[in-house]
Chains A and B, each alone.
Chain A
Amino acid sequence: MTTLSLTINGQKHGPMDVRDDLSMNDFLREMLGMTGTKFGCGAAQCLSCAIIVDAPDGSSTTSPTCVAPAVSFDGKSIRTVEGHAQGGQLSVLQQAFINHFAFQCGYCTAGFLGEGQVLLERLARAPVPREALERTIADALDGHLCRCTGYIKYQEAMRDVILADSNRYLIAAK
C-alpha cells in the first residue's frame, strides 16, 4: 500500500492508502465513484480513459488511466470530465461538441474532451498558423478511438472553437 494525495478538479483528495497495483482508472471509478472517466480497453489504445494532468508550470497533458497505477499520480493535479463545466456553465468545447452533434453513444466523449481541452490550452500558450490548424487538430485527436462517429464532427467542433477565437489560438496572418 502507498499513501496517495492528489488534486482532482481543484479538490484535494487524500492522503489515503491505495494498493500499489491499483490502476488510476479503478481508483477514480471504484474508489471515488467518478465514472465519467471511462474504461475501454485496458491497454491505452482507445484513450476513452484519458484525463488531463496539470503540470506546475501551467502546461497540461493527457494521460491514460487504465494502465497507469493510481500511485503514479501522487502529488499531481488532474482534471476529469466532471470538472470541465464550471459553476453550472458548460465549457466552450463541451458546448461545441453538443452543437456539432460530435458524439453518438458518447462513451469516448470524455477522452476527446480532455484531449481537445489540452489542445486549446496549448494553442493559447503557443498559437499555430492557420495553415497548420487542420494537422494540429488531427494529430492531437488521432490517438482517441470512436466507433460511432467517424471523427469528423469532433474535428469540426474543435476547428470552430479555435476559429471563433482565432486571435487567441492562431498566429495572425502577416
Chain B
Amino acid sequence: MRPSRREFVKWLSAGGISVSLSHLASATGVPFAAHETLPGRGKFNPATKGAGRVDGVAKVTGAKLYASDFRANDLPGWPQTTSHAILVRANDAAHVYTGLDLGRLGGALKPSVVVTAADLDRIGTQVPEFYAGDLFCPPGKTPLYLGQPVALLIFEKFDAFDQARLALRDGTFVQFGEETGPVVVPDYGAFRFTRVAGPSPDKPDVYSPLQAGWVSPKKVQSAALPVWSPLAKEMPADYAKAAKHGEQIRAELAADDASMLVLDREFETQSVDPMFLEPECGLAWYDGKGGNLELLLGVQSPYEAAESIAHLFGKARAPYKPAHINAQFAHVGGGFGGRDHTPFILYVALAAVCFPGKPVRLAHDRYQQFQGGIKRHAIKMRSRIGIDRATGKIKAFAADHVLDGGGLAHFSASVAVVAATGAIGIYDIPKVDVRTVAVHSRGVSAGSMRGYGILQAMTALEVLIDEAASELKRDPIEFRRRNALPQNGRTMTGNPYIVSVRTPEILDKLEKHPIWQQRAQFRQTSSDRLVGTGVACVTKDYGSGADGSLGRVELAPDGRIVIYCDHVEMGNGIGTALANRVAGHLGAVADEVSVARVDSYDVLGLVTSGDPSSIDQKTQDAAERNPRWVPAISSPTSSSIGAHVGTHSAAEAARVIFRFGLWPAALELWRIPRTDPRARQWASASWQNGQLTMPGLEMAGLEPLALPVLAATAHARGFVTGAVAHSFSRWAWSRARFPLLGEQYRADIDALAIRKGKGKFERINRASVKFPPTDNNRIGTAYTSMCGTVVRVEIERATGALRIAKAYSVFECGTALVPEVVMGQAQGGFAMGVGYALLETLPPFEGGPGNGEWNLGRYLVARGSDLPLRDLEIEMLKPQTADEAPKGMAEVVMIPIVPALINAIHDATGHRFRALPVTASLLKGVLA
C-alpha cells in the first residue's frame, strides 16, 4: 500500500475537512449555539469588519475547533459512539520491562482491547524512519527511554475508560524485572562547523562550510562522545581538513597571549516542556474491512502526519491494511514546535486499526503529556572566546555543544546544527570552530521547540559577551556594536544573510532607552533590595532551508474571496495573515479562509522525490525536467515560517488573479485598449477603500472600480478567477516561467493552475524553472531576524524573590502582515522566555517527567504576576521598504530576555549564573 507521493495526495484529497471561518455580515442575529461553528460550517469573519482574527468569534464562543473538541457524533457519517484509549508508557528505563498487571481492571473496567508490541508484529506495521525505535517496548527488553509506550488499552465505554485511568494513575501496574542500566544507542548526529575568514572582508574565506560542505567525524560506536581529532584513525578527509583548521583556532585561543582576553566558560540549559495548553489528542475510525481509515488530528505537520500513518500501515496484513485514508486537521491549542512530527498520531491510528468499526479517541491528560510529549533539548556548552584587548574586536570563537536528545532521534541532529551554526549570534568573528553532538539518553524525547537550539546557544553567548565586555571595561552595548556582523558580512557557514540585518539600529534603540540610560541611577548592590540592569541582542533564523507551501484562491462573481492553505493555525494568526496578504492583491479581506488543508491542490499534480536538504544538483536538474516535480510539496508550520512561507503561495495565486483576471477586467471597464501603454501599468494600480485605481485615472475621466464589479466582469469575460500555486524555498524561492494567456509569466512559484470564469481549474505546465541550487544546503541560514532586550530586575536579598521592574524589547520582522498578532507573539515570547530563565525545569531522567507524575503546579510557567505587564514596552521596527517581505519573528522574540535577565542578575548580585533556570532559591543561596 506504500503510495507514491502523487497517490498520496490523491488519498488526502478524499478527506480533509479543516477549519473554515467565513463571512460574518453582522454579529447581530447570528446564532451562537454550542455546535454552530464546526470547522467548515461557520460564517464568522470579523476581520472583514477590520478588527480581530478570522477565527476570533469561533474562539470566544466555544466553537468546536480543536481536535480535543470532537467526538464521533460530531462528524458526519461516523458511528455515534466514541471509544477511548489509554497509551501506557514505561516509567523506568533501566530495568527490563516484563509486562502489565491489569488485575485491578476487573469486571466492567476490563479493557476491550490491549495492544502491545506483539500486535504490531501480527499487523505488520513498519515504523517511519523519523520515529525509528520500537513503537511499543516488548516484554523482555529494557525501554529505550522513559515514557516509551508499552501498550494501548482501549475501552468501548467512556465510564470504563474514565475509571480505569484513575485506577492506573500510580503507574505501578507497568512491571519491571532485572536491572540492566540504560540502553546504549549511537549518537543522533555529530558535526563540526569551522570557518577561517580571508585577510579582509572582501577576500574569500580560507575555509568555510559553504566552500567545503558540512563535515562529521567518524562514528566511534564504543565511545559516548565523538572523537574530534583530525588525526584519529580512518577519519574522513573532508572532516580532517576542517578539524585541522579548527584545532589551529583552538590552539590560538589556548596560547599565552597577553594581547588577547580569552574566556573559557561553560553553560548548561535545562529540559523544558512546550506546555501548549491543549494536550495532544486525536480521533480515528477504521471500518475494519480494508477500507477507510478516518482520522481527525491536531498537528503542526499535517502532510507529514498523514504520510507517516500511510507508511505505518504500508505493509500491513489484511484486514489491518486500509485502502484509503481520510485525514482531517483541526486548529491546535498551542504548538511551539511540540506538535511538529509528533509520534502521538501513530498511536491514534493504531488504536483505530486495532478496534475496527469503533471510533477511538486517544487523548493525553497533562501527566501523560509531560511523560510523552516532545521536550526542548538540554544542552551543555563550553565556549571559548578571544578578544583583542587593544581594539575590542573578537578574533576567535570555539565551542563544544552536547545536546541531550532523549529517547527518539526526532529533530535532534537538526537542532544541533542550528544551535551550532547560530552560536556566534549577531557577531562578526573571523575564526570560528564549533563541534556539536546530539546524544541519545533514556530521557523523554527532545525535538523541535520554539527557539530550536538558538535559544540555548544565544543565552550562553550573550552571557559570555557581557562578561567579556566587563573584563575589558567596555560598555556592553558599544562592545556589541563594535563586533556586530554588518549587512553583507559572512555568517559562520560562510554566506551572508540575504535579508535585512538591523543590529546597529536595534543596539541604538537599546542604548537610548531610559532603562539603559538610568541603569547606574537605579543600581543597588548593597541594600535589602538589589537592583540591576541587563542587556542582550540576538538573531534567530527562520525557515528550515527546505520549505514548501501550497495556496489556492478563488474569486466569486460577487467578489467573495476564498483562500485555502496547507499551513496550520496554532494561534499564530496564519488565517488572518493569509486574508490580509491576499487582500493586498485583491482589494478585500477573504470571506472564507481554510487552513491546514492538504486536499485542495490536486490539479497541480505535484510529484517529488529525494530529500530536499541533501539532494545533489545533478539529481535535482534531472528531476525538474518533469514539470510537475518539486523538491518538497508541503512543510510543517514551524521554524517561524508562517508569514514568510505559509502565506506566500496564496499571495502569489492572488497576484495571478489580479494580473490576469481583475486587471484585464478593469481595462475593459475603463475602455483602455490593450495597445494603450497604460494597459501595461498594472504594477502602478492600487486599492484604495476597496476601489481599484491607478495614477492619472481621474485626469482621464475614469472612475475607480469596486471589487464586485471587477469580479463580475472577470467571470463574464472568462478571465482568470482562481489560481492554485506551489512554492519552495531553499534560502531563496524557486522561480518559474509559465505560458499564460499569450504571455510568459514569471513568478516566485514552481507550479500553477488557473480557473477562467466559472470553468474548471487547469494546470499550466511551467516552461522553465530555476530551483534554488542544492549548494544552498551548505548554508546555515540566510534568513534571520534580530531582537534585543534591556531589563531591570529587583531582587529581595532575604528571599531571592526576583521582580522584573521594567523591560524593553525591540525587534524587526520586515512587513508585519497582522501587526496585532505580531505584537501578541512578541509579548507571549517574552513571557515564555521569562519562564525559561527563571522558572521552568524538568529533571532529565528518574524523577523527571518520564515517571508520569508531573503536572502544572510542580512545573512552573510564567503567570501574569511573574511579568511586568504594565512595564513591558515592545517596539516593532517599521519595514525598511514598503515592499519588504515579511520575516519570521515568532521565535526570536523569546530569546534575548533570557540572557538579559542573567546579565541583570549579575549586575545586581555580582554573581554570574551559568545554568538555567535561575530560581529564587538559587538566588537566595548566592545572596546568603
Q: Which A residues have a C-beta under 8 Å from some C-beta of B?
A: 19, 21-22, 26, 30, 33-43, 45-46, 48, 80-82, 84-85, 88-90, 94-95, 97-101, 103-110, 113, 134, 138, 141-153, 155
Contacts and interface: CB of A to CB of B under 8 A. Distances in A.
B686 to A, nearest CB: 26
Contacts of B827: 149-153
B864 interface: yes
Given A90-B61, A149-B824, 7 more contacts: A35-B68, A40-B856, A103-B59, A107-B278, A134-B870, A146-B828, A147-B277
Contact of A142 (B336, B831, B863): B863
Given A38-B333, A88-B32, A145-B861, A105 B277 contact: yes
A98 B51 contact: yes
Contacts of B276: 105, 107, 147
Contacts of B163: 19, 21
Contacts of B29: 88
A31 to B, nearest CB: 8
A158 to B, nearest CB: 11
Interface in B802-856: 818, 820-821, 823-825, 827-832, 855-856
A94 B61 contact: yes
Nearest to A19: B159
A33 B571 contact: no
Interface in B272-299: 274-279
B366 A148 contact: no
Given A45-B856, A104-B828, A37 B332 contact: no
B60 A33 contact: no
12 contacts: A36-B61, A45-B856, A82-B61, A85-B32, A85-B61, A101-B818, A103-B60, A104-B821, A104-B825, A105-B332, A107-B278, A146-B277
Interface of B: 27-35, 46, 51-53, 55-66, 68-71, 73-74, 158-159, 162-163, 166, 274-279, 331-336, 365-367, 570-573, 818, 820-821, 823-825, 827-832, 855-857, 861, 863-865, 867, 869-870, 872
Contacts of A110: 62
B27 A89 contact: yes
Contacts of B62: 34-37, 80-82, 110
A98 B855 contact: no
B864 A142 contact: yes
Given A81-B60, A85-B61, A88-B32, A101 B27 contact: no
Chain B contact residues: helix, strand, loop or mixed: loop
Q: Which of B64, B71, B278, B861 gathers the greatest number of chain A CB atoms within 10 Å?
A: B278
A99 B34 CA distance: 22
Contacts of B831: 149-151
B333 A105 contact: yes
Given A36-B62, A99-B52, A145 B863 contact: yes
Contacts of B867: 150-151
Given A90-B60, A107-B333, A145-B861, A98 B277 contact: no
Contact of B277 (A46, A95, A101): A46
Contacts of B828: 104, 146-150
Contacts of A34: 34, 62
Contacts of B74: 33
B237 to A, nearest CB: 48
A155 B61 contact: no
Contacts of B367: 42
A88 B277 contact: no
A46 B885 CA distance: 37
Q: Which of A82, A107, A141, A144 gathers the greatest number of chain B CB atoms within 10 Å?
A: A107
Nearest to B857: A45
A41 B856 contact: yes
A94 B277 CA distance: 20
Nearest to B335: A105
Given A43-B366, A88-B29, A148-B571, A109 B34 contact: no
